[in-house]
Amino acid sequence: MVSILDPEQKEGLEFIPWKKLYHRYLMNEEQAVSKVDGILLNQGIEKESNLCVLNLIHYVATMKCSPSVDPGKALWSLRDHHLLPEAEACVRQHLPDLYFAAAGVNMWALVAAIVLLSSSVNDIQQLLFCLRRPSSTVTMPDITETLYCIAVLLYAMREKGINISNRIHYNIFYCLYLQENSCTQATEVKEETSVWTGKTIQLTHEQRLILNHKMEPLQVVKIMAFAGTGKTSTLVKYAEKWSGSKFLYVTFNKSIAKQAERVFPSNVTCRTFHSMAYRHVGQKYQSKKKLNLFKLTPFMVNFVLAEGKAGFIRAKLVCKTLENFFASADDELNVDHVPIWCKDTHGQRVMVEQSEKLNCVLEASRIWDNMQKLGECREEAYQMTHDGYLKLWQLSKPLLDSFDAIFVDEAQDCTPAIMNIVLSQPCGKIFVGDPHQQIYTFRGAVNALFTVPHTHVFYLTQSFRFGVEIAYVGATILDVCKRVRKKTLVGGNHQSGIRGDTKGQVALLSRTNATVFDEAVRVTEGEAPARIHLIGGIKSFGLDRIVDIWILLQPEEERKKRNLFIKDRFIRRWVHKEGFSGFKRYVTTAEDKELEAKIAVVEKYNIRIPELVERIGKCHVEDVDFAEYILGTVHKAKGLEFDTVHVLDDFVKVPCARHNLAQLPHFRVESFSEDEWNLLYVAVTRAKKCLIMTKSLENILTLAGEYFLQTELTSNVLKTGVVHCCVGQCNNTIPADTVLTMKKLPITYSNRKENQGGHLCHSCAEQRIGPLAFLTASPKQVHSMHRTVENIVLPRHEALLFLVF
């Protein structure tokens, strides 16, 4: 997890030993790890012990208070906390020595129980509010030290494999983070542009650390920024503070560069990498009409391959070889640029043989040589591409010596070629981005934030975009899917929802364009079709190409009879070539994901395509403010934010909750590429107010122990009579001789299905939350109940997928 304090704020830690131990343990200091491990061992806080959580409470109960603390007044201050009755019942039943002690009820035992029973940051904030009343007599160091004690033990328990939810530690951490950073001196600045709507913002201590750093020549600074943490505003303020320096701001996206021009001060020049390369190299080819405005395709390459060596499989290999070379920092093409794997004529993944690699290098080199020539050419494969002239610019070793420093935005998407250009400059460099938003590895991006050596590194971990709940989901994806625990994403103190609430404008985000089309069809059907906006505009979505593919699918006589004309020049070529079947074979062989998605749409809706495309076109509005639904893929939505986000169901899937994963021994989180988890993280962190999850996303949270459970007094649960366990295949009832019962909160998913929740029997609760269940009932009571094993039935396509992997 993230270090809550920067080095300047850590003075005096000797007076707060638990806070010091917490930070040292997270840094994996040997002495700290040994000390915490010793506490766990000596106190019986071990994986093998059913009572490990109760033993944790027992240990926290030994915390010493300041001499000024009046235990009676401190206990009285807790009276308004909504979890106090549950905490008292737990301690009274399971730890009677702490409840009926001669000195009275142990205050810290109740505090620990409240923390362990908490289901939200708000529960911990309410606890702090109660204890910080002047009448409580408890000092702030007493409170924070106790919370740090609980936090480090919870963190260590999870590291030791104890089945304990990460949510409890997250609640404590988040609360301490907000409290400690609200106490630091805040610098208020007035934003003067529409990007921040002129509002007054407060710089965090993380941002101030960056602003106070003076760049020197040859320094390489990294700013690792989580989603929505204000990286652009930080760079703007940095440029304003160091107004005597000249900066170059470079990014990949043209619209982002244009927006940057509007918000950065006059000492910053804003460009895209391609615009700089175009100015020095690309415009020469444009003036000779030798510039390919699109990307190089296997179809183009196939026409120029040597006689007897053509074919779309080889053409695809040559294309990929050139792409890899353009993205690399290398001076010359070589066999390292040839893909290791390719698909054969049967669609099987096979290793590329050495002889084939050598042939690919020869063909790719010949095409590259012809690309560089400025003379006229008719072959599309010999026209210069955008990445080609960027490569030529890199090879020319450009010198950008009029700047004191270069800001590289979205640095996680840099290719080695771009890195070579930037790192060869004599000025300082600041690379800023979110390493977990890298979703372009298929384009040769290498994540400079991990690979480039640095002289200084800074972090931005507090998002201004969303509140607690959405931040927790984002942090947990990084935690359980990518093992990111040293730095933790936090949000603000404002409300956010993840269980089905909707506020403001709604965005429907998917992984693929095929799903975007499906959703566009769904929301525009009926008597009152919704107004929609496709991210990037209706033209870039390619509805015309979908219609063209549908026309290609029609028999020749039907095309003539209805006077159907294919507009797209490339698709039109297939009319006199091999028709739709040949076109589909090409798309599959070339692994053209965009066209594959469009073919899937055409085959799914077939005769309805003209009507559906017309309907979507009529319902589409160019001004996003007038849309009821915003639809798009995560790739298109990157950098954007929306009030409510529905995460659609075509992302990487966790098939069931953690307690049932033993039934799927082939499933491994690690078997999926990081790009897939990054896509999901980007989708989740587009939400500002509400996030509507898929069932799979809820399953991911269960991998961290979050099941959306709340505690209730069993006596209250049974007031209306017998209550059955809400787990469908469980026949247990809630026993009256237990003190507490867990209740599953309702949740509505993005497919509009609802889990209504309900009370869980103590056996089902233990399967989900492990030893925390023994706060509600004794191990003997829990284990005497029938243990229900749920029957997991996966959709056929998912079941086949897990068999393959």
DSSP 514-559: HHHHHHHHHHT-SSSPPPEEETT-HHHHTHHHHHHHHHHHS-HHHH
Question: Which tops the pLDDT comparison, 134 or 39?
Answer: 39
Task: Give a yes or no: residue 401 inside a domain.
Answer: yes
Buried b (16+ CB within 10 A) or exposed e, 36-59: beebbeebebeeebbbbbbbbbbb
Task: Give a yes or no: residue 283 inside a domain.
Answer: no
Which two structure tokens, joined as six digits, stand for 738? Answer: 């237990």
What's the pLDDT score for residue 195? 42
Work out the pLDDT band at 189, boundaries 50, 70, 90: very low
Question: Which tops the pLDDT comparison, 421 or 6?
Answer: 421
Last residue of a domain, one of 679, 700, 721: 700
pLDDT digits (tens, 9 = 90+) for 748-775: 999 999 999 999 999 999 999 999 999 9
Last residue of a domain, one of 700, 721, 754: 700
Residue 696 shares a structural domain with residue 711: no
Rounded average pLDDT over 85-104: 94
Residue 456 shares a structural domain with residue 514: no
Measured between alpha carbons, how far is 235 from 68 in angstroms, rounded to an integer? Answer: 47
Which two structure tokens, joined as six digits, stand for 796? Answer: 């056929």
Question: Hunting for tokens 């099941």 — which residue is that?
Answer: 707
CATH number at residue 270: 3.40.50.300
Measured between alpha carbons, how far is 468 from 495 in angstroms, rounded to an integer? Answer: 7
Work out the pLDDT band at 193, boundaries 50, 70, 90: very low
Query: DSSP 3-state helix, strand, coil percentages of the chain (rounded to 5)?
Result: 50, 10, 35
Rounded average pLDDT over 103-116: 95
Residue 564 shares a structural domain with residue 692: yes
Work out the pLDDT band at 103, boundaries 50, 70, 90: confident
Exposure on the CB side of residue 256, measured as CA atoms within 13 A: 16
Q: What percent of the chain has pLDDT over 90?
A: 83
Residue 60 shares a structural domain with residue 37: yes
Q: Which value, to the nearest 10 degrees, does the dihedral of the CA atoms of residues 643, 647, 652, 655 take? A: 130
Work out the pLDDT band at 200, boundaries 50, 70, 90: low
According to DSSP H, which parts of 651-795 are helical?
A: 674-684, 695-703, 714-717, 762-769, 779-783
Rounded average pLDDT over 519-528: 96
What's the pLDDT score for residue 187? 40
Work out the pLDDT band at 12, boundaries 50, 70, 90: very low
Rounded average pLDDT over 597-621: 97
Residue 696 shares a structural domain with residue 715: no
Residue 222 shares a structural domain with residue 263: yes
Task: Report yes or no: 248 and 400 within 8 Å, Cβ to Cβ.
Answer: yes
Sign of CA dihedral 55, 60, 63, 65: negative
Task: Report yes or no: 541 and 516 within 8 Å, Cβ to Cβ.
Answer: yes
Q: Which of 683, 593, 587, 557 is nearest to 631 (CA)?
A: 683
**Does 411 have pLDDT greater than 80?**
yes
Which two structure tokens, joined as six digits, stand for 7? Answer: 């080095």
Task: Give a yes or no: residue 194 inside a domain.
Answer: no
- Residue 188 parent element (H or E): strand 187-190
Classify the phi-psi angles of 643: left when phi > 0, otherwise alpha if psi is within -120 to 50, otherwise beta: alpha
Task: Report yes or no: 475 and 489 within 8 Å, Cβ to Cβ.
Answer: yes
Residue 548 shares a structural domain with residue 680: yes
- How far is C-alpha 141 from the chain's CA centre? 35
Task: Give a yes or no: residue 805 inside a domain.
Answer: no
Query: CA separation (Å) from 601 to 234, 392, 545, 595, 702?
Result: 43, 39, 11, 10, 34
What's the pLDDT score for residue 529? 96
Task: Give a yes or no: residue 284 inside a domain.
Answer: no
Task: Report yes or no: 659 and 560 within 8 Å, Cβ to Cβ.
Answer: no
Mean pLDDT across the chain, nearest whole number?
92
Strand partners, 755: 747
Which two structure tokens, joined as six digits, stand for 564? Answer: 């159907």
Rounded average pLDDT over 427-451: 84
Work out the pLDDT band at 443, boundaries 50, 70, 90: low
Total structural domains in the chain?
Answer: 5
Query: CA separation (Å) from 608 to 553, 559, 583, 601, 709?
Result: 13, 16, 21, 10, 45
**Does 183 have pLDDT greater than 70?**
no
Q: Which three-class secondary structure state does DSSP give residue 114?
A: helix
Q: What percent of the chain has pLDDT over 70?
A: 94
Residue 29 shares a structural domain with residue 158: yes
Task: Report yes or no: 427 and 403 within 8 Å, Cβ to Cβ.
Answer: yes
Which two structure tokens, joined as six digits, stand for 271? Answer: 């460009």
| 358-372, 430-444, 595-609: the lowest-pLDDT one | 430-444
Residue 574 shares a structural domain with residue 674: yes
- 337's CB contacts (< 8 A; 6+ apart) are 321, 322, 324, 325, 328, 330, 361, 364
**Does 528 have pLDDT greater than 70?**
yes
Measured between alpha carbons, how far is 596 from 589 in angstroms, rounded to an integer? Answer: 10
Residue 162 shares a structural domain with residue 228: no
Last residue of a domain, one of 683, 700, 717: 700
Question: For residue 247, what are the domain limits?
Answer: 205-276+395-461
Buried b (16+ CB within 10 A) or exposed e, 652-674: bbbbbbbbbbeebeebeeeebeb
Residue 23 shares a structural domain with residue 169: yes
Measured between alpha carbons, how far is 371 from 364 in angstroms, rounded to an integer? Answer: 10
* DSSP tag of 490: B
Rounded average pLDDT over 678-703: 97
Task: Give a yes or no: residue 101 inside a domain.
Answer: yes
Length of the chain: 805
What's the pLDDT score for residue 495? 87
Residue 655 shares a structural domain with residue 772: no
pLDDT digits (tens, 9 = 90+) for 494-516: 889 999 999 999 999 999 999 99
Task: Give a yes or no: residue 663 inside a domain.
Answer: yes
Task: Give a yes or no: residue 695 inside a domain.
Answer: yes
Question: Hunting for tokens 């201590």 — which residue is that?
Answer: 205
Measured between alpha carbons, how far is 264 from 238 in angstroms, rounded to an integer? Answer: 10
